[in-house]
Amino acid sequence: MTPYSPDALASRLKTGLLSFPVTAFAADLSFDEPRYREHLSWLSQYDVAGLFAAGGTGEGFSLTPAEIDSVVKAAVSQVDGKVPVLAPATGGTATAIAQAQAAEAAGADGVLLLPPYLTEAGQRGLVEHVSAVCRSTNLGVIVYSRANAILNDVSVLELVDRNPNLIGFKDGVGNIEMMTRIYAKVGDRLTYIGGLPTAETFALPLLQLGVSTYSSAIFNFVPEFALGFYADVQKQDRDSVYRKLNDFVLPYLDIRDRQKGYAVSIVKAGLTAIGKPAGPVRPPLQDLDSDELAQLVALINKID
């Protein structure tokens, strides 16, 4: 059982960078648990505020519920209480509830509620979906506003009133007016997490909007750079942030933007580049080609 009440988890997550590890796959695309654990063990020397297993970067959308359960259990056991572990809940309401309950049974400390797959939805339906998942678990829940599940300020206010264990809002949209409206209405009742692809890109401006931390996909393969960047953002050291954006993050986006889905594929490529491969991505994603990988290697070597 988690030692974190929803409130304690919310406070803890604000204290540092958030890790979203990739899920390692073998050549036949099965879950490679030993490699996954090895990666988590390597990352455990670096200080983060929370670890989100099988999130977007962890290709949670390509895993079966049984595989998600295995990944979450592996993370909980490998991390061994050093940082809170959050598990995903995805899909339709019944599936998301089953996953939230499985997360609690697996010893996770919180739930990241990702958008339902495929269908579009209105605000009333989204409020009922999020509320049903919150009611189904004692764990703290963070809702990921993105894709087909973008919440507006009125919905977020209703959600916090109805659901004491809704502790966080992860923004995957980057709409300045909407973030301002949400923070103006809800303030510090929620922990706000920047969750746009390659979240470093937006970290400094979003800090001004109440988004105090973010999910770092690049932490997977350049953890020291990612932590240094986070520290610069917290200090609001604009010179250093913009130097690092120019040196690494923006050229990285140039490679990432060559194909849809590369925001995840390039993270696995980054692990290959540093000699700690986590295997291929699963379809519907595709891996970087050899030229793109070579460019990524050269870019990483520049910051080493």
Ligand X SMILES: O=C([O-])C(=O)C[C@H](O)[C@@H](O)C(=O)[O-]
Residues in binding site: 57
Q: One symbol per residue from 12 to 51: x for binding ligand X (CB under 6 A), - otherwise; what is it? A: --------x-------------------------------
Residue closer to ligand X, measured from CB, 168 or 197: 197
Q: What letter does residue 249 receive in the DSSP assignment?
A: I
Residue 95, token pair as written in the block: 């599936």
**Residue ranges of E strands in 178-273:** 191-194, 213-216
Phi/psi at 46 (5° precision): -105, 145
Tell me the number of residues near ligand X by CB under 6 A: 12
Q: 4, 36, 144, 252: which is the annotated catalytic residue? A: 144
Query: Would you say the C-alpha torsion 265, 266, 267, 270 has a positive or negative sign?
Result: positive
Is 252 a residue of the active site? no
Does 115 participate in binding ligand X (rule CB under 6 A)?
Answer: no
Residue 254, token pair as written in the block: 């140039």
Q: Which residue is nearest to ligand X (CB)?
A: 56
Does 6 participate in binding ligand X (rule CB under 6 A)?
Answer: no
Phi/psi at 49 (5° precision): -95, -15
Q: One symbol per residue from 247 to 266: x for binding ligand X (CB under 6 A), - otherwise; what is it? A: ----------------x---
Where does 26-152 have alpha helices with state H? 33-43, 65-79, 93-105, 123-135
Please identify which residue in the block is written with the tokens 């916090």: 160
Q: One symbol per residue from 183 to 212: x for binding ligand X (CB under 6 A), - otherwise; what is it? A: ------------x-xxx-------------
Is 185 a residue of the active site? no
Binding site for ligand X (CB under 6 A): 20, 55-57, 195, 197-199, 215-217, 263
Q: Give the catalytic positions in this structure.
A: 144, 170
